[in-house]
Amino acid sequence: MTGKFIGVGVGPGDPELITLKAAKTLHNADVICIPKANADKPSLAVTMIKQILEERAVEPEMLELIFPMTKDDMGNQKLWDKNANVIAQKVGMGKLVVFITLGDPMFYSTFIYLYQSLQKGHPNMDLEIIPGVSAFNACATSARMPLAEKDELVTVIPSEFDEKLVEEAAKCSENLIFIKCAYRLKELIPVLKRAGFKENSTIALIRRCSMSNETVTVGRLCDALNWNVIEDYFTIAIVKKNYIINNDKMGT
């Protein structure tokens, strides 16, 4: 009996956005690994697969793996390697081990580090990756904002703001996607204006996309200064330089 490891993207929040392939894999898994930044916090990814778990005749082993969000690269590497070894041990026992991750596994995901540890420490392991719907795709549809058309450029800006970098990226992109740091959008507006974005360029702020408490706010860049922005990690901002919305499409 040979085991296998599968990294599965479970999408942005709505369980109906889990692909058929991911759902089938979760139905068959012997072990489901749940990445957590903190042992005490509940996992959002687990709530998304709740129905699949309830439908199963046999309960899988649920294995929580801690992946702290710190900048200690050496410490993190040790933990990723440790988690990779735990997975390798289960796979070595002939089990189908599935690791769930929000959105897509290969886009700004903890899965990437685990995958690299597995490749380094266990290069012969049978491994598969199943893509998921990324939050930025779902956010664009929730906001009814095309992400790009014709020969437009799209840039994704993660995490901490480096004003200079944002300005340079904004100068050569018609469409910007801010992840992780999106709730700090008011700090961005002057930078975007310096880079050629206009008062009436369009901005959308999408919070908790595809979840039951989703909020979507769309308006002009100049309006966003007056928005009441809640600090929430699950937020994306999409800004479009040349996309002008009508007044009747604005608001939440």
Ligand X SMILES: C[S@@+](CC[C@H](N)C(=O)[O-])C[C@H]1O[C@@H](n2cnc3c(N)ncnc32)[C@H](O)[C@@H]1O
Closest approach of ligand X to the CB of residue 241, in Å: 20
Q: Identify the residue among 83, 88, 100, 109 touching ligand X (CB under 6 A).
A: 109
* 177 binds ligand X per the rule CB under 6 A: no
Chain positions 2 to 61 lying near ligand X, rule: CB under 6 A, are 12-13
149 is written with which tokens? 């058309």
Interface pick for ligand X out of 15, 19, 108, 122 (rule CB under 6 A) = 108
Among 233, 242, 244, 251, binds ligand X (CB under 6 A): 233
Pull the structure tokens for residue 205: 């702020």
- How far apart CA 206 and CA 138 sit, in angstroms, is 10
Q: Which range, of 19-27, 76-84, 163-171, 208-216, touches ligand X by CB under 6 A?
A: 208-216
Instruction: Map tokens 């040790």 to a residue.
Output: 78
185/242 Cα distance (integer angstroms): 18
Token couple for 222: 């100049």
- 235 counts as binding ligand X under rule CB under 6 A: yes
Return the residue of 6, 10, 130, 135 that touches ligand X, per CB under 6 A. 135
Taking CB under 6 A as the criterion, the residue among 83, 117, 134, 175 binding ligand X is 134
Element (H, E) at 220: strand 215-220
3-state DSSP helix/strand/coil % of the chain, to nearest 5 = 35, 25, 40
Q: Given candidates 8, 23, 206, 224, which one binds ligand X under the rule CB under 6 A?
A: 206
Distance CA(11)–CA(13), nearest Å, equals 6
Residue 172 tokens read as: 């050569």
3-state secondary structure of 234: coil
Smallest gap from residue 92 Cβ to ligand X (A): 28
Residue 139 or 224 having the CB closest to ligand X = 139
Please state, in angstroms and rounded to a whole number, the distance separating the CA atoms of residues 236 and 209: 9
Whichever of 33 and 206 has its CB closer to ligand X, that residue is 206
Q: Which residues of 6-24 are buried (b: 16+ CB within 10 A; e: fewer)?
A: bbbbbbbbeeebbbeebbe
Per the DSSP assignment, residues forming a β-bridge with 209 are: none
Among 96, 118, 179, 239, binds ligand X (CB under 6 A): 179
Strand pairing partners for 130? 8
156/29 Cα distance (integer angstroms):
33
Part of the chain binding ligand X (CB under 6 A), chosen from 72-80, 91-99, 161-169, 205-213? 205-213
Which of these segments, 27-35, 99-107, 162-170, 197-205, binds ligand X (CB under 6 A)?
99-107
CB of 115 to ligand X, least distance (A): 13
Q: Which of 32, 188, 236, 245 binds ligand X (CB under 6 A)?
A: 236
Binding site for ligand X (CB under 6 A): 12-13, 102-104, 107-109, 134-135, 139, 179-180, 182, 206, 208-211, 233-236
